[in-house]
Structure 1
């Protein structure tokens, strides 16, 4: 019997305060949280679909009580907990090497203290990735990075955000123009010391390079459920035809209503009821499982035969 192709699902556990901080809302300093509402809902949906996923946790949350409880619950349910930086600042690519190492180590310590194994995967906030970061991940024994989003939509989304966000908001989101033509397939970074850290991009539609992560799908579903279903089915067919293993990204906002995320009216899809969003996520996961063997990102890297390589010198542009 021929094994089914692999796909992966991951969650960026971005919290309410992180969105507000990026948008320039000073109320983020109170660290408002929607994790107590979002995490049980996500775990319930994954449990219903018998999926084991990867959750990228933010260290600044994990050192707090609700974040530590969330990580403990995620690990107890069998999901991988990976590193999503400590401070969740999308301008991570501007950090010095020492500060990057501090971001990694503090989050590692917080995750272990919360009861999960030491992380072996990383995703940068705002799809931030640099040569220093890749080399540090390799030195610290990480198996993979998942920080790239190869889409031409990124620079346009950044321009829209910068035009609509208050003065002082983060203005370097979604990666630079060099990411537009980055590979959609998984590949290995070739570093100077010979390590071969796997890069697992957040999948965009092959050929078109338009997003298929769940927040984008939620927005499309609000426009037209029929169009959204057709779009995602087309993306899966193209992935199968092009040999791309989909890496589907989920956020807590994909299962939350506006009342559960006060101050996030600016974010696409927040006017949709939580129940409708949760049901839509369930449909997306079912469609994915109909064609692929779905695992977490770490399990994908362990099981996949990733042969493509790319020199880490391609990151010398700083993004």
Structure 2
């Protein structure tokens, strides 16, 4: 889209849409990738959907831990629904174009849900900390009202700031190429296409990430240091094993999510890493939600028992 600059008398290119290159460099694998991502998306919907149902219906799972797990599964479905249907549509139609507004909505939604996921993982770690380190006070501290408040805070606390961050990114001048070498709209590839100085915006994005991503991670680490210290002081081996088993599933999900996410956002900037960035971006937005129900069901006797009761029906 060309527009005249009345001051300079020059032609300016104003970007009205972006092209998500995605996996366009693999033309012979488009059908195969569509099939793979379709299976992944269905697995996420079915697996996390089952977890939501059993945590709501089974009387034995009406505890704070499973209340948080049900909410986390719902969040995983929302999180992947921001990116995967779009990826599937691009693979099917081969159009790959996304309007300026759609790109902004996708970026903002991804960040709001991603931050909610980080905060909810921290809340789940806090729940395990109270259960193991302060078992006598657990019913009092983690009562129904507190659990609901923690969920609401996890979902909404970052919304105003992240909307402002997205607005600032999309207020930048995009006057040159409009090809995003990524599978979805995200700040790093968008900032690479922006004209002019983006230093202040990059700093603000990093500050937001530090606040809403690193802070929950530090809270998770602190919780687990205290949890492990408490577990090691338990007199019986069986008690230690049981305490570790209730935490191991959550630790695996935290490791998957933060491990892949940190590779994408904390890596050194190099031109040769775009392919690996796409893979790891897909890892934390799709693979983690796939493994979440598997990790929690295969390593949890209560969930397995609830599934056995539900599936015959």
Tell me the TM-score normalized by structure 1: 0.24
User: Greater strand share, 1 or 2?
Assistant: 1
Tell me the TM-score normalized by structure 2: 0.25
